[in-house]
Each structure stands twice: as structure tokens, then as C-alpha cells.
Structure 1
Amino acid sequence: MNLSDFRRAGHAPTLFSAFLYFDVSFMVWLLPGALANSIVAEFGLSDAQKGLMVAVPLLGGAVLRLVLGLLADRIGARRTAMLGMASTAAPLLLGWLWADSYPRLLLVGLLLGVAGASFAAALPLASRWYPPRLQGLAMGIAGAGNSGTAIATFFGPRLAAVWGWRAVFGLALIPLLATFVLFALLAKDSPNQPTPRPLRAYLEVLRRGDAWWFCLLYSITFGGFVGLASFLNVFFLSQYGLSPVAAGGFATLCVIAGSALRPVGGHLADRLGGVRLLTALFLAAGGAMLGLATLPPLAAGTTLLFAAMAALGMGNGAVFQLVPQRFPREIGVTTGVVGAAGGLGGFFLPTMLGAMKQATGSYSGGFLAFALIGGLGGAAALAYASRGWRGIFIDEGGRAAEPSCVPLPVAAEATGAA
């Protein structure tokens, strides 16, 4: 595969639209985390409350991804995405005009999950335009819209310092509306849109062991990325005593690594094989987290977080190089299910970090747990699961198999239940 092949394939305006929708949605989704230090100063929250506040939008996104994944398969990814953007305006208005207490803010965060659910519409919209051998790069480009997290962490604290954190929710309506208009003009559903299937047919995906393996892998890569992205502002201020604006700058530096390198992860997975690349990335992320467990000085801690976020971001692209190979006919609902697992992983990580900080007075135990469970555990799980994949939807070298080599009924029988 070369880039000229990629340019001739698919539909570039739709790929751009999927990226843009994903980007503005992630910016909105991570606003509570980006504004956390300003909010904490007003409400006087404990460490556990901080962790829960930035984690609740991730939980909302996990639940609603299942809904949007189902809709993407039944009414089309384009219409689903437009419905998602229209629905996102409601929690932004509530955050701007109504959220005057911690419980109300938690509700706003939960409703912002509809922005995080964009994953389940944006990726099928892009994926259905591209053949299997180009899935890694196509999904990586669309998924690079998680760069919206960097927009939130960089601009959110700065705007809050000038106009207050509530006004930032209102200001976010401007790029959301602009994206809605561009998306409506540019995006198209692929002619390969699958025929809507009975609701009971979607349960078949969960009966295949591979779906559960992908859920586990993505709960580590995406969950780790988005969970850390939502918590880093709090971490840099709490651990190193930075100002809210400075903490946002350091958080943005780390987030950029993961978002910018997601397409690289997909492209390398196309070339080297997703399993091989993912194994190395799990071990790299685990090693960085082990270093962070020592709570090093600011420069070393930032370097380790940069490396961890880079590995997790590329891991996101590598996982979704594999998913369309295994579930080409159910990509919408599978994206929703696997994406929901990623959101759940993101919910648990900041919740755990905040709770352990409150219980022990240190973030060390939380980083150590993620290193062992996410890094080493993820590599071990991948090694076990991938034994049954070769010759079915990946070749012996670990790359995507040709379509003629992917007998889905056989694949389902071979993998069994997890």
C-alpha cells in the first residue's frame, strides 16, 4: 500500500467530515476535564470528587456509543452523526446557563456523553468507503479527531481565566454549529451501506469471542488515552503545583502525542500487522506508567506521559485496523460496542486515580496498577487472543488477509466465546 493508492480510493470529503465531526465532538466531550481546575476552585471538591467529575462524561459516552452504533447501521452514519451533533447542543447550553452546583455539573457531564459517542458514527462513515488493506490509515485519519482533546485542554483553561468556566460551554456552540453545516454539505454515506438487520441480529456480535477481546484491548488503549486526557489538568496542578493555565499547557503537550500519532498507528498496523504493533505499544505504555509510579520531577514526568500517550494513541489506530477485518458487515454496531468498552475504561481510570489519591495521598498506586493491568496484562491478552486469528482475517505475517480469505462463519466458529 502506498499513499497514491489511498488518495485514489474512498471519498476524501467524507473522510475529512468524519475527522471534523470527531474533532469537535472530542473537544466538547473533554470540556469538564479541561475546565476542572477552575471548577474545583469554585466548588471545593475532594480528590475523589475531581476524579468522578472528569470521568462521568466518559461513562455517558460509553453508554451512548451503543445507541449511535445501532443507529449508524440502521439509518446511516451520516444522519446519525448529524443527530449526534444536534443533541450535543443541549448539554452545552445547560453547562453555560444552568450548572451552578456539583450535582448539576455531573448531569451535564453525563449528557455530554453524546459527543463522546461520535466515535460510533464517525468511524463507520469513513470505514465503509475504503477496502480492507486501507482500513488502518482511513480509520486512523478519522480517529485523529481525538485531537479535539488537545483543543479543549489548551484553550479551555485560557478562556475560563478570562470569561469564566461556564462561558466556555457557551463558546463551544460556535465550532459545533460550523461543523454541523460543513458536515451536512460534504459528508456522504458509502454506497456499500449495509442493509438494516433485525435488532436481534446485533446480539450475534456479542456471541463472538473476538468482540470481547477487542473490547478489552480498546478499553486499555482508548480508555487509557481519554482517561488520562481528562485527568491530566488535575494531575499537573495537584502533583506539581502549576497554575490552571500552565497545567493545561502541559496536558496539551501530552495529549497531542496520542491524537497526532493515531493515524501513524493505523498506517504502521497496515504495514507491519496490528498484532505485532499492538504488543510493542502495550509494553511501551506499561513501561512509561511504571516510571510514572515513581512520581518523578516535572520534566521526567511530562516525558513519560508524552511517551505513554503516544503509545496509547497509536494503539487506538492499531486496534481499529483489526476490527473492520473481523466484522466488516457489522462495523457500525461493533464500533459502538468496542467504543463503549473504551469509554468504560476511560471512566474507571480517572475515578481510580482520584480515589487512590484521596485514600493514600499519592498517585503512585494508580499508575502502578495501570502499568500492570493495562501494559503487561494487555500484551498477554493480545498474545492469547491472536492465536486463533491467523489465517482467518489476518495472514501469517499478521497483516490484513485478502477478502477472499475471510470466511466469516468459519472465523466465528474458530474464535468461539471469550
Structure 2
Amino acid sequence: MTGDPARTASKSAAAEKLRGGFPQVLLATVASTIGFWAWMSIAPLQHVYNERMDLGEGQISLMLATPVLVGALGRIISGALTDRYGGRIMFTAILLLSAPAVLLVAFAGTIGSFPLLIVAGFCLGVAGTIFAVGIPFAGAWYPPSRRGFATGVFGMGMIGTGVSAFFTPRLEQSIGYLPTHLVIAAALVGMAALVWILMRESPAWKPNHEKLVPKVAGALKLPVTWEMSFLYAIVFGGFVAFSTFLPKYLTTIYPNEVNAVGAGSRTALFVAAAVLARPIGGALADKFGPKIVALVSLGGIVSLAYLVGQEPPEGIVTGAAFIAMASSMGLGMGAVFAWVGPSTPPDKMGAVSGVVAAAGGLGGYFPPLVMGLTYHPTTNSYWLGLWLLVIVGTFALIVAGMLKDTGQRAAPGATLK
């Protein structure tokens, strides 16, 4: 059989219509990288704030978690607004709004004010909302069968977390604290200009003028929103939590083996592993279905969290465990948004993506606080916090096993087998 000529012609016309999408997705990825760098610019310099302000464990955890919380909740709004205004306007706006927040962080650190630093971290959370802009933007450039790949490539923009972990402490040592933040702010403004000049919307994208509250409410009525939000809170939330807290974890558990710069390098490797795995997870999900990829991801996270909780000697085993855990998280991130795309009405893609992305950010907000609260100074251990990850990850593994794969999703109201 040669197939239906009309259908073949329609597919060819659609592919021709979307030609040129990959450069646009790459541009969005670079913009996201800069946004993530700004969003995570406090964590790599936590030793500086600790020295200047003499912070306790609880204060450090709050300082690290505040940008994550705002960036998470703000994604609900930025995702819904992207449905209405498009990626070009939203990318530009978020990048420009983030630059003053970076300068406020610099000012708070310069005068040594912890309350002002928390306020600045709150404002800095705007940068973290950039993720919810890129998911619908990238997905609109590809047909549903390839959206796992598209969103996986865009998701590589989270390498900005690694850029921050690697370069921010080195810049601070070489050019100073204030100039470092001026460089980050300049990068945000420069990237905003490039986006405004070079970015264009997919021909398949149409603005949705539905009001914000009904739009979000409509997304919350879809079962896929809740299902993917829970899974993404584990895979992306775990990534954000470790990316934020890993420097603190390593320098606390292995103080004689790891200094601040070394912890930044290890965190950058952690981020790079997750970034490289994310598009692989999306591509594998396109081919084999997102469910099996998510199950492999969650199984890896649970087993590796247990291994890390044993606090093996710092070295090859520890390094390999964290890199493997990051890779598992990256595969899961790619799988979840490959699951979202075919399961979501196109006009609600931004709103659903925003809610799911927000859940992922919230998943990264609480673990640093938990780690700070459950730290045992007498044994120098975070074992309780890691055991909680094992328990929650195991529950997520069970839930994922009960969900229907994208190919099985026949009815909009279907949830569990």
C-alpha cells in the first residue's frame, strides 16, 4: 500500500510550513541558558554570603530556596502568557526583568544585608520562569511525533545552572563580586536584544486570548496536568534541588576533600550530565513511549539516592553516583514533556506546561529546606533527607507504572489503567 495521497501531501505541507524550526529552538535554548545562569547565581557564591553575614543552616537554606520558589510559581503565569503573547515577547520581557534583580542581589551582598538578599532572591525568581516560555514555543515548531525531541533540546538550556556553578565562583575570584554580577546582567540584556531581533514564532502558533485565570483553571481540569506535575516534581525538582544544594552538601560532608571551587566544578558536571540526557530522554520517548523512559529514570533515581545516602568516601564512587543520578533525572525530564505534548490540547499547551514546570520548580524548593532541617551536626549527615527522596521516588515509580502511555490515551478523561 502506498498510503493516502491526500494525507501524505498534508504531512508534507505541514513539514514545509515548520521548516526552520531547529535554529529557533536553539536560540530559545541559549536564551534559557542565560536565564538559568541568572536564576542560580546565588547558590555558587553561598560561601561569600556566609562569610559576610555569618549565616546559619536555616538561613542558607532559605537563601537558596527563595529564587526557586518564585521561579516555580511564576511559571504558571509565564506559561499562560506565552499562549497569548508568544515566545518572542515573553523571552525578551523575562530576560530584561531579570537584569535589575541580578543588580539588586549584587547590592545586597555588597552591603551585607540578609533581608535585602532574600528580597533580591525573590525578584531573581523571575529568571526561572523562562522555562515555561520555551516549552510551548519549541513544541509549536515540531509535529506532535517529534515534540519530545524539540522540548528535550530546549530543556538543555538548564545547562545555565552548570554555567553558573562553574563560572560564577571563578569570576568572583578573578574580577570580584560586583563585576561578576555586572557581567551576568549584561549577558541578560544582550540576550534579550538578540531574541527580539532574531526570534520568530512558529507558523503553527496562534495566540489564545482567553483570560489568565480561566486558562489556568482549564489546565488544572486536565488529568495529564496533575499526572505529569507529580512526576516532574520528582525528576526536575530533584535536579534543581541538587544543583542548588550540591555545593553546600559536598563542602559539608567532605570538607577536607572539596573546596568551594571544586564543589562548583562537580555541580557543573552534575548539570552537564542531566542536560545531555534530557534530549536523549525526549528522543527515546518519541520512539519507545515516555512511560518506559520515565520508569527507567525513576528507578535510577531511587537506587542512586540510596547509594549516596550511604555517604561513600569522596572520589570515583561518589562522582559516578551523582553523574548517574543526574543522567537519570535528565532522561525523566525529557520523557515527561514528551508525555505532555501529545496528551494536551494545542491551545492549552502553554498553560499546562507552565503548571507542570511550576510543579518541577516546587519540587526543587522544598528539598534544600528539608536538608537544612534534617542535617545532623553530630554525625555530619544528611541521610534523612536522602531517605525521603528514596521513599518519594519509589512512590512515583509506582504511580508512573499505573499511568497510560501516550499511545494508549484515547479519552481526554482517562487517567489510570
TM-score (norm 1): 0.89
Instruction: Letter of the 1:160 partner, please give it.
Output: E
- 1:349 paired with 2:367, answer yes
CA contact (8 A) 1:10 1:130 kept: no
Secondary structure (helix, strand or coil) at the match of 2:407 reads coil
* Aligned position for 1:312: 329
Q: Give the distance between the partners of 1:366 and 1:39, measured in 2 at CA.
A: 24
How many Å separate the matches in 2 of 1:343 and 1:355?
20
Aligned AA for 1:61? G
Structure 1 partner of 2:234: 220
Query: For 1:19, what is the secondary structure of its paired residue?
Result: helix
**What letter is aligned with 2:358?**
A
From 119, 123, 126, the counterpart of 1:111: 123
Q: Which amino acid aligns with 1:39?
A: Y
* Residue 135 of structure 1 pairs with residue 147 of structure 2: yes
Which ranges of 4 or more aligned residues in structure 1 deviate by more than 4 Å? 358-361
Counterpart pick for 1:147 among 128, 136, 159: 159
Q: CA deviation at 1:115?
A: 0.7
How far apart in 2 are the matches of 1:201 and 1:150? 34
Does the Cα contact within 8 Å between 1:62 and 1:339 map onto a contact in 2? yes
Separation in structure 1 between the aligned mates of residue 217 and residue 148 of structure 2, nearest angstrom:
26
> What's the offset of the Cα at 1:277?
0.7
Distance 1:96 1:201 in 2: 37
- How far apart, CA to CA, are the structure 2 residues paired with 1:258 and 1:27? 16
Gaps of 5+ in 2: 1-14
Q: Secondary structure of 2:209's match?
A: coil
1:265 aligns to 2:286 (yes or no): no
Deviation track 1:261-296 (CA, whole Å, cap 9, x = no partner) reads 211111111112100010011010110000011111
Take 2:34 and 2:300, find their aligned partners in 1: how far apart are those partners?
A: 29
Kept after mapping to 1: 8 A contact 2:87/2:133:
yes
Pairwise CA distance, 1:41: 2.1
Q: Partner residue of 1:165?
A: 177
Are residues 1:365 and 2:365 paired? no
Q: Which residue of 1 aligns with 2:90?
A: 80
Inter-partner Cα distance in structure 2 for 1:111 and 1:358? 32
Q: Are 2:308 and 1:295 equivalent residues in the alignment? A: no
Percent identical pairs in the alignment equals: 31
Q: Alignment RMSD, CA only?
A: 2.1
- Distance in 2 between residues matched to 1:254 and 1:395, nearest whole Å: 32
SS at structure 1 position matched to 2:205: coil
Distance verdict in 2 for CA 1:201–1:176, change over 3 Å: closer
Show the counterpart of 2:63: 53
Which residue in the other structure is 1:197 paired with? 210
1:51 and 1:166, CA in 2 relative to 1: closer, same or farther beyond 3 A? farther
Aligned 8 A contact 1:125 1:189 in 2: yes
Q: CA deviation digits over 1:120-139, x for unaligned, max 9? A: 11111111111011111110
Match of 1:339 in 2: 357
Q: Find the residue that maps to 2:200 and give its secondary structure.
A: coil
Determine the C-alpha separation between the residues in 2 that align with 1:47 and 1:75: 41
Equivalent residue, structure 1, for 2:296: 280
Cα deviation for residue 244 of structure 1 reads 1.1
Please report how far the alpha carbon of residue 10 of structure 1 lies from its aligned counterpart in structure 2 after TM superposition.
Answer: 5.1
Post-superposition offset of 1:358: 5.4
Q: What amino acid is aligned across from residue 148 of structure 1 in structure 2?
A: G
**Secondary structure at 1:297's aligned position in 2?**
coil
CA–CA distance in 2 between the matches of 1:60 and 1:285? 26
Could you list the per-position Cα deviations for residues 321-345 of structure 1 after superposition, in whole angstroms to 9, with x for gaps in the alignment?
A: 1111111331111111111111101
| Number of equivalences | 394
> Is the Cα–Cα contact under 8 Å of residues 136 and 320 in structure 1 kept in the other structure?
yes
SS across alignment from 1:34: helix
| Alignment deviations for residues 88-126 of structure 1 (CA, whole Å, 9 cap, x no partner) | 011111112344311111111111111110011111111
Counterpart code for 1:351: L
Q: 1:9 to 1:221 in 2, by over 3 A?
A: farther
Secondary structure of residue in 2 paired with 1:45: coil
Are 2:265 and 1:249 equivalent residues in the alignment? yes
